[in-house]
């Protein structure tokens, strides 16, 4: 018989798919790594089980315990699937800008969801970071996973995502492009790929309202760069420990509008029903297309599935309200 023991055993080994119509006038080969093929439909499935097992190994999580995490949604889902497998309870804190689909899915798979205000400083007692940290103090036998500073995050991508890309491109990759949220994906992949070939370019996609690009270019953490934005899953108002800026060659900022419109184009022109940050990653790639030559092999990481954004990016009323269409 051909089967796996648990749904989480299907995590990883996601496909690379060639883009055709959107990039038809561009030099180079453009491949997208579709992380929506993971069992929870996002790249965060990779780190969910790994971070839990790392916490168990270090004695932070014990049987019957409670997992706590601050998340834009996808990490919460990856952790919730792993919690089902391991027998833990899970509580996630989320900013109120996140899609209702993410909240509903999390509750459907057993997570308790606490919604927090988006437009507050990270150190504010009501931020989703602070609420999660305080819950750990109050709940006995609980552990705050903290994907931002938990280095098991980037280590997972060093061990899995990076090697997959190297193998799937037959060692021919010249550019890796990924949105930067916690920084675990881009840093872990970059660690592996630059070991194999230091000439590979690593480009991070940022959003307006995030501190990353300016911090990368100047070393300055500028609070004036921080303001509310609608793109989900990328950008930050903190500097997570998972980001290694020395491995990232360039940051490119993408507007909320361009990210949303490109997300829709992926569905209509390529048949790829992808999430909001996927559109941001491709929009940023198109902004940099003149830096790519015919012999280049560009891999763009597409973190999640479009089903999480039905009420937002794929909803005409929401798009009109944002003045994107």
Active site residues: 44
Residue written as token pair 């490109």: 262
**Residue 298 — φ and ψ, nearest 5°?**
-105, 125
- How many residues comprise the chain? 325
**Cα 185 from Cα 155, distance rounded (Å):** 9
**3-class SS string, the chain:** CCCCCCHHHHCCCCCEEECCCCCCCCCCEEEEEEHHHCCCCECCHHHHHHHHHHHHHCCCCCCCCEEEEECCCHHHHHHHHHHHHHCCEEEEEEECCCCHHHHHHHHHCCCEEEEECCCCCCCCCCCHHHHHHHHHHHCCCEEECCCCCCCHHHHHHHHCHHHHHHHHCCCCCCEEEEECCCCHHHHHHHHHHHHHCCCCEEEEEEECCCCHHHHHHHCCCCHHHCCCCCCCCCCCCCCCCCCCHHHCCEEEEECHHHHHHHHHHHHHHHCCCECHHHHHHHHHHHHCHHHCCCCCEEEEEECEEHHHHCCCCCCHHHHHHCCCC
**Cα 31 from Cα 19, distance rounded (Å):** 6
């Amino acid at each position: 018989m051909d089967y796996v023991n648990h749904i989480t055993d299907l995590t990883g080994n996601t496909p690379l798919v060639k883009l055709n119509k959107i990039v038809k006038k561009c030099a180079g080969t453009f491949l997208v790594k579709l992380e929506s093929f993971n069992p929870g439909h996002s790249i965060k499935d990779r780190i969910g089980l790994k971070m839990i097992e790392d916490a168990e190994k270090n004695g932070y999580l014990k049987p019957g315990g409670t997992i706590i995490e601050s998340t834009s949604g996808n990490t919460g889902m990856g952790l919730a699937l792993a919690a089902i497998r391991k027998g833990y309870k899970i509580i996630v804190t989320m900013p109120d800008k996140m899609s209702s689909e993410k909240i509903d899915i999390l509750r459907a798979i057993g997570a308790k969801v606490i919604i927090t205000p988006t437009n507050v400083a990270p150190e504010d007692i009501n931020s989703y970071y602070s609420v999660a940290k305080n819950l750990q103090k109050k709940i006995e036998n609980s552990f705050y996973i903290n994907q931002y500073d938990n280095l098991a995050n980037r280590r997972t991508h060093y061990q899995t995502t990076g090697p997959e890309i190297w193998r799937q491109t037959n060692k021919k990759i010249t550019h890796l492009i990924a949105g930067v949220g916690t920084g675990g994906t881009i840093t872990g992949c970059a660690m592996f790929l630059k070991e194999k070939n230091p000439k590979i370019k690593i480009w991070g996609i940022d959003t307006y309202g995030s501190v990353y690009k300016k911090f990368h270019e100047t070393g300055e953490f500028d609070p004036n760069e921080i303001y509310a934005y609608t793109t989900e899953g990328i950008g930050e108002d903190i500097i997570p420990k998972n980001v290694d800026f020395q491995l990232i060659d360039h940051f490119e900022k993408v507007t909320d509008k361009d990210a949303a419109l490109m997300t829709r184009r992926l569905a209509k022109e390529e048949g790829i029903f992808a999430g909001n940050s996927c559109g941001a990653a491709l929009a940023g790639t198109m902004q940099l297309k003149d830096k790519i030559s015919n012999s280049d092999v560009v891999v763009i990481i597409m973190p999640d599935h479009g089903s999480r954004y039905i009420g937002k990016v794929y909803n005409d009323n929401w798009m009109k309200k944002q003045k994107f269409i």
